[in-house]
Amino acid sequence: MKAIAKNIYYVGVNDRQKQRFENLWPLPGGVSYNSFLILDKKTALVDTVDICYSDIFFKKIDKLLEGRMLDYLIVDHMEPDHAGSIRLLRQQYPEMKIVGNKQTFRMLEGFHNITDGLHEVKEGESLDLGDHTLTFYMAPMVHWPEVMLTYEETEKVLFSADAFGTYGTLDGGVLDTEMNTDRYRNEMIRYYANIVGKYGGPVQKALQKLSALDIRMICSTHGPIWTEQHAEIIKLYDRLSRYEGINGVTLIYGSMYGHTEQMAETIAAALAENGIKEIAMHDVSKTHASYILRDVFHYKGLIIGSPTYNTQLFPEIDSLLQKIESRDVKNRLFGYFGSFTWAGAAVKHLAAFGEKMKWEIVGTPVEQKQGIRAEEACTALGQTMAERLKQEQ
Ligand code: FEO
C-alpha cells in the first residue's frame, strides 16, 4: 500500500474486467476505483470501491489498521463504483461513523438501508483526526447531487470525488510523478465529456471554491493522483467546464454507401489545405459515441454530415445529437451537410439542431442528391470553417 502523503495511504483497486463504465462507456484500458486511508489519532477512510473488489479492498485496510478501529468513513460520492462496499464495510467495522451530508444520508438509506452511526457535515465544517484536519465543501452535481469535496489541510490534499477523474487503471505507479501520464490525458477528456460534461455550471462553482484552497495534491476517485501536474489539470477542467474548445474540428458523419463519406473527405481536405491541423474525423457507425463526445468537447469547430434515412437523420447521427444536446454543449462553430436519394430531410434537421443549440453557423450547408458530387460546395464549407477558426486564434 502506497503512502501518498504523511500517514495517508492509497488503498484503491483496479478494475480490468468491466467492459463499459456505467454499462455505457467503453473501458479498453480499465478503470481504477481510488480510496484513501488516513492513520492518525483517529482513522478515516475516504470513499470505498465497487463491491466486486471489496475483498481485495478490505485486506488492504485491515493490514494498514493493524487491529485498530476504523473511526470514520468519509463518503464524498454515493455512486456504487465508490459507495458499493459501504454496507459490507459497516459489517466489518460496526463502530465506524459514516460522514456525509443530508443528501448522502438519503441515498445511504435508499441503497444500503443504513440510518444510524452517521456524522452529518455542512459546507465548510471540519473534522479533526489529530494531526490531520478534514474540511468539507459541497459540490452538488459534480456528478450527483450529494457530491462533496474533502480537503486535508496539513498535507494540502484534495479528495475530489469524480472531479479530475480519468479512465485507465493504475499500472504500478499511483502518483503522476511515478508514471508517464500521456495515456490519461485524452481519457480524462473522454471521462469528463461522458460523465461530468452535462454539469459545466456546477463544475465552475466547485472550481471557484477550490481557488481559495492551497492544494498540493488532488486525489480523484479515478486515475492518477495529481501532484506536479495538478495545476494543469485544474486548468483543463476549467476550459472543459466553460465549454471552450481548442482550435480544431470534429468532423462527424454517417454514411450508408460512401456518398456522404466522400463529402466529409472533401471537407477535411479543404480544412487541412487551409491550415487546420487538428481534425478528428469520425464515422458514427464505427466509433463509439464516447470517443466522439470527447472530441466535441475538445474542439471548437464541429461539422456534422448525415444521409436522409426514412425522412429523418441517419439513426446513429440522431442518437449522437441527443447525447450532445443532453450535455448542453455550448459555443461551437457549426457546419453541416447531408445527402438524400429522393427527398431531402437530413440537412433540415441539422439546421434545426444548430439553432436549438444556439451555435454559430459557419459556411453554407451542403445538400447532395444521390451520387451527384458536391465537391465545390464541400470545399467551400471546409474553407469557410478554417477561416472562421483562424479568427479565434
Ligand atoms: Fe465514479 Fe459518479 O462515480
- Centre of ligand 1 from the C-alpha of residue 80, in Å: 8
Is a pLDDT exceeding 90 seen at residue 231?
yes
Mean pLDDT of the chain: 97
- Centre of ligand 1 from the C-alpha of residue 46, in Å: 14
> Which tens digit of pLDDT belongs to each residue from 191-224?
999 999 999 999 999 999 999 999 999 999 999 9
Q: Which atom of ligand 1 is nearest to the CA of 147?
A: 2
- Centre of ligand 1 from the C-alpha of residue 163, in Å: 9
Instruction: Residue 313: count other Cβ atoms within 10 Å of its Cβ.
Output: 25
Q: Which atom of ligand 1 is nearest to the CA of 162?
A: 1
Q: Confidence band (pLDDT; 50, 70, 90) for 393?
A: confident
Q: Residue 187's pLDDT is what? A: 98
Q: Confidence band (pLDDT; 50, 70, 90) for 1?
A: confident
17: enclosing H helix or E strand: none
- Centre of ligand 1 from the C-alpha of residue 198, in Å: 14
DSSP 351-380: HHHHHHTTPEE-S--EEEETT---HHHHHH
Q: Confidence band (pLDDT; 50, 70, 90) for 60?
A: very high
Q: Residue 273's pLDDT is what? A: 98
Is a pLDDT exceeding 90 seen at residue 63?
yes
Three-state helix/strand/coil letters over 170-181: CCCCCEHHHCCC
Local structure of residue 196 (DSSP, 8 states): I
What is the arithmetic mean of pLDDT over 285-298? 98
Q: Residue 371's pLDDT is what? A: 85
Nearest Cα to Cα of residue 33 among 66, 71, 79:
79
Residues with CB under 6 A from ligand 1: 77, 79, 81-82, 143, 162, 221-222
Write the residue with the smallest CA distance to atom 3 of ligand 1: 79
Q: Residue 52's pLDDT is what? A: 97
What is the arithmetic mean of pLDDT over 132-148? 97
Identity of the residue numbered 206: A
Is a pLDDT exceeding 90 seen at residue 310?
yes
Contact by Cβ (8 Å): 87, 96? no
Write the residue with the smallest CA distance to atom 1 of ligand 1: 162
- Centre of ligand 1 from the C-alpha of residue 379, in Å: 43
Q: Residue 220's pLDDT is what? A: 98
What is the arithmetic mean of pLDDT over 356-366? 98
Q: State percent of the chain over pLDDT 90.
A: 99
3-state secondary structure of 384: helix
Q: Residue 373's pLDDT is what? A: 82
Q: State percent of the chain over pLDDT 70.
A: 100
Query: Cα–Cα distance between 125 and 123 in angstroms, integer?
Result: 6
- Centre of ligand 1 from the C-alpha of residue 33, in Å: 9
Pairwise pLDDT comparison (123 vs 373), residue with the higher score: 123
Question: Grid coordinates representing 265?
Answer: 473527405
190: enclosing H helix or E strand: helix 182-191
Is a pLDDT exceeding 90 seen at residue 372?
no
Q: Which atom of ligand 1 is nearest to the CA of 144?
A: 2
Q: Confidence band (pLDDT; 50, 70, 90) for 382?
A: very high
Contact by Cβ (8 Å): 12, 32? yes
